[in-house]
Amino acid sequence: MSTKTKYVRPFLKWAGGKYRILPKIHQRLPKGKRLVEPFVGSGVVFLNTHFDAYLLADINPDLIDLYKVIQKEGTAFIDHAASYFDGSHNTEELYYSLRAQFNTMPCSEDKGAIFLYLNRHGYNGLCRYNKSGEFNVPYGRYVKPYFPRKELLHFHQIAQRAEFICCGFEQSMDAAQEGDVYYCDPPYVPLNVTSSFATYYSDGFCYSNQELLAQKAEFLGKKGIPVLLSNHLNDYIVKTYHQADIYSFEVQRFISCKGEQRNSVKEVLALYGK
Ligand SMILES: C[S@@+](CC[C@H](N)C(=O)[O-])C[C@H]1O[C@@H](n2cnc3c(N)ncnc32)[C@H](O)[C@@H]1O
């Protein structure tokens, strides 16, 4: 079935989103009581599954704080966030002023609303920080950024079954309980030297992280807790995931430093356990 008719879109724009490969993830994701996502990103897998409970983690505190606010405040937050999308805030000057404000604010409902504004008004929906941890994405120059009201409402509803935690994957991989199923979507290994996607957050994600993640996935799989992982298909990943059941397929991706060039790349879904 086409992804256009069947699936819910996340309310955030997010690099590495899995919307287009949801049918393949659905085919391979084992059943269980609770879904754990150590790299939740925009939450597109969470939003399109039906587990009794969810443990959703990410290392990005701005993202997890926003999710907690929406979970708790619902329409009160959504109405407040909508005020930043009334058109009057869509100027270069106001974008940079709100970005500067965001970088000095403590966690609050308003900070969450500005994070959403920056995601939809900033260049390409990027989420990028400088070495001091300041959000530094330039203004996106969109005519009328979309306010994702229905996507936010859907998120609020199913977030009632979720627990959100801000942590590195080591901690969420160690939080496994009987009946859990894991879906791990880490920053991918670079396809080659010039196409690194591995800079989602200022900490980066290096090869030793990829190897530790594979070790932890194998450990859980042996204990009867299935772990499904996404990544690029290359020799390094085949070697690193050699204990898993590997399924590979082609996807269309924009992967160019110079302009928006569409390329076909191979990805894997690697399953430990089951
Ligand atoms: C590929 S994205 C996830 C995309 C998500 N599946 C989706 O469809 O939107 C990777 C996520 O991993 C998070 N991340 C990066 N390093 C991490 C780490 N060491 N531990 C936990 N999360 C991390 C990033 O903040 C980012 O949200």
What is the tens place of the pLDDT at every residue in 127-166?
999 999 999 999 999 999 999 999 999 999 999 999 999 9
| Nearest ligand 1 atom, CA 42 | 9
Name the residue range of residue 79's domain.
Answer: 68-151
Rounded Cα distance between 237 and 244, Å, is 11
146 and 177 part of one domain: no
Instruction: Determine whether the shortest distance from the Cβ of 37 to ligand 1 is under 6 A.
Output: no
Rounded Cα distance between 38 and 211, Å, is 15
98 and 13 part of one domain: no
H-state helical runs in the chain: 3-6, 22-28, 44-47, 61-73, 75-82, 92-102, 109-121, 149-158, 169-173, 207-222, 235-240
Domain boundary among 151, 181, 202: 151
Number of domains in the chain: 2
Question: What 3 state SS string does 2-68 have?
Answer: CHHHHCCCCCCCCCCCCHHHHHHHHHHCCCCCEEEECCCCCCHHHHCCCCCEEEEEECCHHHHHHHH
Block residue for tokens 């659905």: 26
pLDDT tens string 231-249: 999 999 999 999 999 999 9
Question: Which tokens go with 63?
Answer: 């993202």
How many A from CA of 90 to the centre of ligand 1? 28
Q: Residues 3-25: what's their mean pLDDT?
A: 89
What is the pLDDT at residue 267? 95
Domain boundary among 151, 175, 200: 151
172 and 39 part of one domain: yes
CATH classification of the domain holding 25: 3.40.50.150
Question: Which tokens go with 118?
Answer: 């920056």
50 and 181 part of one domain: yes
Instruction: Determine whether the shortest distance from the Cβ of 59 to ligand 1 is under 6 A.
Output: yes
pLDDT surpassing 80 at residue 199: no
Closest CA to 253 of 28, 19, 3, 29: 19
Instruction: Determine whether the shortest distance from the Cβ of 49 to ligand 1 is under 6 A.
Output: no
Q: With respect to residue 244, please indicate whether it lies within any of the assigned structural domains.
A: yes
pLDDT tens string 27-37: 999 999 999 99
- pTM of the predicted model as reported, rounded to 2 decimal places: 0.93
Rounded Cα distance between 218 and 13, Å, is 31
Cα distance between the two ends of the chain:
26
Q: With respect to residue 160, please indicate whether it lies within any of the assigned structural domains.
A: no
Instruction: Determine whether the shortest distance from the Cβ of 205 to ligand 1 is under 6 A.
Output: yes
Q: Residues 177-203: what's their mean pLDDT?
A: 72
Instruction: Determine whether the shortest distance from the Cβ of 125 to ligand 1 is under 6 A.
Output: no
128 and 176 part of one domain: no
